[in-house]
Amino acid sequence: MRRIGILAVILIAILTFSGFALINSNYESPVVKVVKYAAPAVVKIDVVRTTYTSFDPFMDEFFKKFFGEDQSPWGFKRKASAVGSGFVFDSKGYILTNEHVVHEADQITVTFIDGKKYDAEYIGGDSELDIAVIRIKSKSKEKFPTIEFGDSDKLEIGEWAIAIGNPLGLQHTVTIGVISALNRKIPKPDGSGYYTELIQTDAAINPGNSGGPLLNIHGQVVGINTAIINPTEGVNLGFAIPINKAKRFLNDLINLGKIRKAYLGVYIQDLTSELAKALGLEETSGAIVTQVVEGSPADKAGIKVNDVIKKINDSKVSSASDVVSIIHSYAPGDKVTITVEREGKIIQLDVLLSEQTEEMASATEEGYTKFGITVNNITESDRQEYSIPDRIEGVIVKYVEPSSTAYKVGIRRGDVIMYLNRKKIENLEDWKKAISKVKSGDIVALMTYRNGVRRYITFTIGD
């Protein structure tokens, strides 16, 4: 009897604790529902690209020119692999991701959560905005799972944010947080400018998450996970491109393979403290208009010389580079409201943006343009923005045409060119003289300075 009594107590205890374990037994987290819906359309992107490691670019060109070799004893080509994320937005197999994930890829492979793998092809992308479209190569008429786009303009700080991606290659990892802030601006890793209008989230984002979706609680894509702050400097600071920005350019990427950039039609420069004081302005934030192109969208909207551009829609402007970055995030035909300060008054002007041609792109940056590179003398504002020491002399790169060879070999906005073929460059006049002697087919070697590092970049003009 005593044994039966002990067994009865044990049974009651088991039933009692089992009851505690079944609290909310029918509950399913809304996050689980989002993941079940979205994960099948999220892909792991494996990329193989050719990189060239060299110890002496001059010798590399020597061997290539005289011996037909692609590499010298002091350098070699190698295949490098990388991993990122993306998501299917069209059932025909179109995938949205970051440009830096698939840039100059020799081979692209995508893997779904069920393990199915497909080869993919690059359709189009843009390095400045860091968005790209790839497409699955499939001989069948297979329909692929997709994710619905949300409306990033309606995001509010504090609402749920869910990220799905492949951090460090760990396939289909889910992290959760909130929308921490909106309209953030951070410098690009290569020092070529800034990402603007970003969504900030504390949902964990790590290398390999790039290109994956940032979802709201309804399972809709509101952003493309793109960047993180160095973990040694801060934690839980991730950033995503608003999906509405990407949506503006999808048709261009699919049909043209590139993005048509919007055009405003102004010459601008940074508003330094010295300039602001001379002009009697109280604030130094913004970009001052030095010239308005006749007949341009800016001219038609009533923007005038000496206007200080303070905001473009809801994005604050603190420098001339902000204006370029923000305007380029819009498509031709978009309407924006530009807030300017004019003679102490705040004025809002509605502007209908037009399409930017290659000539217009170089014209909006003051300086001298040749072979796709626009350069100018280094100003004190440039030294502050790009951390250029006083001892560094040369010309600063203001713009690089994305389709140019110079861009492909890594020259970026903010680079200082110190030498051209061992000819020292101290100012714009030196550059004009040196570059005027270069013709199509010539090999040039540029010594550049960026973020404390000097290096030679070589390429063939017109290559």
Domain boundaries, the chain: 2-28, 29-259, 262-359, 366-460
Residue-level pLDDT at 234:
65
- Average of per-residue pLDDT across 391-419: 86
- Average of per-residue pLDDT across 396-424: 86
Region of poorest pLDDT, from 87-91, 144-148, 290-294:
290-294
- Average of per-residue pLDDT across 295-317: 91
Answer yes or no: same fold for 29-259 and 366-460: no
* Beta-carbon count within 10 A of 438 CB: 15
The strand pair at 354-355 and 345-352 is best described as unpaired
Instruction: State the maximum Cα–Cα separation within the chain, in Å, rounded to a whole number.
Output: 108
210 is a catalytic site residue: yes
pLDDT at 279 over 70: yes
Residue-level pLDDT at 73:
43
Coil, helix or strand at residue 413: coil
Residue 446 CA to residue 444 CA, distance in Å, equals: 6
Quick: pLDDT tens for 161-189.
Answer: 999 998 888 888 999 999 999 988 887 76
Domain 262-359 CATH class label: mainly beta
Which listed residue (72, 100, 307, 381) is catalytic? 100
Fold classification of 29-259 is: Thrombin, subunit H (2.40.10)
- Rounded to 10 degrees, the C-alpha dihedral 183/187/193/196 comes to -10
Segments of 104-193 assigned E as strands = 107-111, 117-126, 131-136, 160-165, 173-187
C-alpha 181: how far from its chain's center? 18
Residue-level pLDDT at 244:
94
130 is a catalytic site residue: yes
- When the pLDDT of each residue in the chain is averaged and rounded to a whole number, the result is 83
Residue-level pLDDT at 72:
42
According to CATH, what is the number of the domain 366-460? 2.30.42.10
Which listed residue (130, 270, 322, 415) is catalytic? 130
Residue-level pLDDT at 67:
40
29 is a catalytic site residue: no
Which listed residue (85, 210, 319, 354) is catalytic? 210
Quick: pLDDT tens for 330-373.
Answer: 989 999 999 999 888 899 999 999 987 655 554 445 567 777 78
**Cβ 132 vs Cβ 47: under 8 Å:** no
Q: Phi and psi of 117, rounded to 5°?
A: -115, 145
Residue 397 CA to residue 130 CA, distance in Å, equals: 20
